[in-house]
Amino acid sequence: MPVARPEPQEPRVIAHVDMDCFYVQVEQRRNPALRGQPTAVVQYNDWKGGGLIAVSYEARKFGVKRSMRGDEAKTVCPSINLVQVPVARDKADLNVYRSAGSEVVAILATKGKCERASIDEVYLDLTDAAKEMLLESPPELLELIFEEATKSNILGLPSVIFFLCDLVVAATLQFDMNVTNRSSSVQDVSNKEDSVKAWLCRTDADYQDKLLSCGAIIVAQLRVRVLEETQFTCSAGIAHNKMLAKLVSGMHKPAQQTVVPSSAVQDFLVSLPIKKMKQLGGKLGSSLQDDLGVNTVGDLLSFTEEKLQEYYGVNTGTWLWKIARGISGEEVEDRLLPKSHGCGKTFPGPKALKDNASVKTWLDRLCEELSERVQSDLNQNKRIAQTLTLYARACKKNGCDSIKKFPSKSCPLRYGTGKIQEDAMKLFESGLHDFLGSQITKWSITSLSVSASKIFDIPSGTSSILRYIKGPNSTVSPANLDCSLHEDLSLGNKLYIAPNHEEHCEPSSSEKGDHGNNSILAKQSQAKEEKKMSKKLTEVKGTCSILKFLSQSPPALNEKRKFDSLMCSHPGPESSSEANKAEDHTPTQSVDRNNFSTGGGTSASSSPWMLNVEDIDPAVVEELPPEIQREIHGWIRMPKHSSSKARGSTISSYFQPAKRS
């Protein structure tokens, strides 16, 4: 349910830019011969000529609508040009339109905070740009107003007065009627532009309207620039909030813009159908009509805030009360990239999927496309998606319980085409089980889609933890991680690490003072223990030692890693007495950062590598980036409760050099 958001104290200038029949414009740019011709874009489907997803204004004059099929459009307009959407993997490929939309967004984003709402629409917060213009070059002081801005449609502007004056003058001068008819449209346009210019340059306007005037000029400049650089036309709405800007952006199309002054809000909303309001086109809007008899926004004004709260709760009731008065605190999100990636396909009529094999075939295709898009997003934009969701529409053969919907299912997203395909199929099987329940009946799938959501930027300066193990020249991405690393390498509460025999290990400081025989015994005991640890690791199916990656480090790095010993605290009942003595008499020291550095420098210390899983604070691990957290949790089982030992507040305290007495 919608929730009311606090309205900003300062006035804002918000624009909603909507491309005009965008898919058709893209095809017209690809094939200029289509310009000025009745044209429609058809989505891939051979049933009745396919479904129309965009119709040019030339075709609309003949009565062609988006709800029609291709064959019906040809009946209405025999001269129409039907252009098929590009096809990939036996489904529509919209990448050419996404790329074209990105061109437009790149231009619009130069003037303020930009939120890409879809392939062909964008929200802009132009408040700062409008304030700057008002301060430096207010419209009332400009000798020449940008021409496109004077063509704006200002709600509530009484331009009809100018038109009536024209008729009186024409009658007085007794112009020839034919001449008057031919010139009336030119006069109307000229007088409208004069009235708009007068409104934009008012010296007595309040601060809000002056900001809107600046916003109208800025949007007009942006629209002209979009046309010049991309050959695309667009329409726009300019208001003090997103809701109003969205409502009016489509009022005057194509290639026009509409401004909503504060004084015109109530008159504009009072007769607006309630279903036209954002978030009221579904169940909530139907409830308002059925339960309260509300058909227009004006009808909603008759209810108090308390009454609406009584019906729909505190949050939604307040939201309804505010939108009826044109109040909305929703902010423009600074987002040029989509919030999610999705791929879907419909299977109408006889094309419905009726068995797991056919579902898997199509899921594999959809997941392949989804994997390409999330991987491209990761590589180009450094963003990582975290949730995979499957949606479907289904029906049962016997028609029983037909109201029940196929439930959507989600799980953590694992990068890699094969993994996404495997997880998507498991989600489908889970959803099908819930959909059928205890019934044993035939079923069919009429729609199938997968999406990747909860997309976050990877923090700058972070990378996979394997980079620090393998060396600075190694590159690791989520798609390339060895799945064996995500297996549990822990045995009990201990982390066993097999040694890299190619590395140079020197005796520990406690052993240097002992007799030579004791040193030899300690080395033999250590080698024996290492052999046992290696054997235990090999017994864990699907796992490998972390030193597999250490062994791949350059020789120069190996020389820099001169650890006194490689051991674990409390390695197990089979540990040697010498190892236990070393633990008893040598205080646990932090790893010297120079020893574990990927850069240059000579090791300045030789302290023992002591690792007890119980000493790792889960709270510190949670400070790490999500991808590194997953790697760490894949190697060890974190204890349920933090250790009571004193420690620093950040992870850096674990890597401080040990102090020598």
Task: Decide which of 457, 481, 496 is a domain's last residue.
Answer: 457
Residues with Cβ within 8 Å of 9's Cβ and at least 6 positions away in sequence, in order, are none
Is 198 in the same domain as 151? yes
Residue 328 lies in a domain: no
Judge contact between 341 and 387, C-beta under 8 A: no
At 282, which CATH number?
A: 1.10.150.20
At 357, which CATH number?
A: 3.30.1490.100
Is 278 in the same domain as 215? no
Task: Give 158-196 pLDDT, tens digit per residue.
Answer: 744 343 344 333 333 343 444 445 455 555 667 889 999
Beta carbons within 10 angstroms of residue 463's beta carbon: 17
Is 55 in the same domain as 114? yes
Percent of the chain with pLDDT over 90: 53
Is 411 in the same domain as 295? no
Confirm whether 229 is a catalytic residue.
Answer: no
For range 327-344, the mean pLDDT: 92
For range 86-91, the mean pLDDT: 86
pLDDT over 60 (residue 633): yes
What pLDDT is recorded for position 538?
Answer: 46
pLDDT over 70 (residue 571): no
> What is the band of 241 on the pLDDT scale with cuts at 50, 70, 90?
very high
What pLDDT is recorded for position 291?
Answer: 92
Residue 330 lies in a domain: no
Is 497 in the same domain as 352? no
Task: Decide which of 457, 477, 498 is a domain's last residue.
Answer: 457
Residue 507 lies in a domain: yes
Is 191 in the same domain as 73? yes
Is 143 in the same domain as 244? yes
Spatial distance between the Cα atoms of 517 and 301, rounded to a whole number of angstroms: 95
Task: Give 638-656 pLDDT, tens digit per residue.
Answer: 544 444 444 444 555 555 5
What pLDDT is recorded for position 512?
Answer: 44
Residue 1 lies in a domain: no
Query: What total of structural domains would you count in the chain?
Result: 4
Judge contact between 285 and 299, C-beta under 8 A: no
Is 422 in the same domain as 494? no
Is 177 in the same domain as 200? yes
Average pLDDT, the chain: 77
Residue 331 lies in a domain: no
Task: Give 47-68 pLDDT, tens digit per residue.
Answer: 788 889 999 999 999 999 998 9
> What is the band of 35 on the pLDDT scale with cuts at 50, 70, 90?
very high
Q: What is the pTM of this model?
A: 0.65
At 64, which CATH number?
A: 3.30.70.270
Residue 124 lies in a domain: yes
Residues 27, 115, 121, 583: which is the catalytic one? Answer: 121
Spatial distance between the Cα atoms of 507 and 511, rounded to a whole number of angstroms: 6
Residue 160 lies in a domain: yes
DSSP 3-state of 349: helix
Of 5-19, 424-438, 455-469, the one with minimum mean pLDDT is: 455-469
Is 420 in the same domain as 350? yes
Residue 295, burial from CB neighbour count under 10 angstroms (0-12, 13-18, 19+): middle
What pLDDT is recorded for position 656?
Answer: 55
Task: Give 92-143 pLDDT, tens digit per residue.
Answer: 888 999 999 999 999 999 999 999 999 999 999 999 999 999 999 999 888 8
For range 566-586, the mean pLDDT: 40
Give me the domain span that covers residue 438.
341-457
What pLDDT is recorded for position 629?
Answer: 76
Is 295 in the same domain as 363? no
Residue 368 lies in a domain: yes
Is 250 in the same domain as 296? no
What pLDDT is recorded for position 635?
Answer: 66
For range 256-268, the mean pLDDT: 95
Task: Give 373-383 pLDDT, tens digit per residue.
Answer: 999 999 999 99
Question: What does DSSP assign to residue 45?
Answer: -
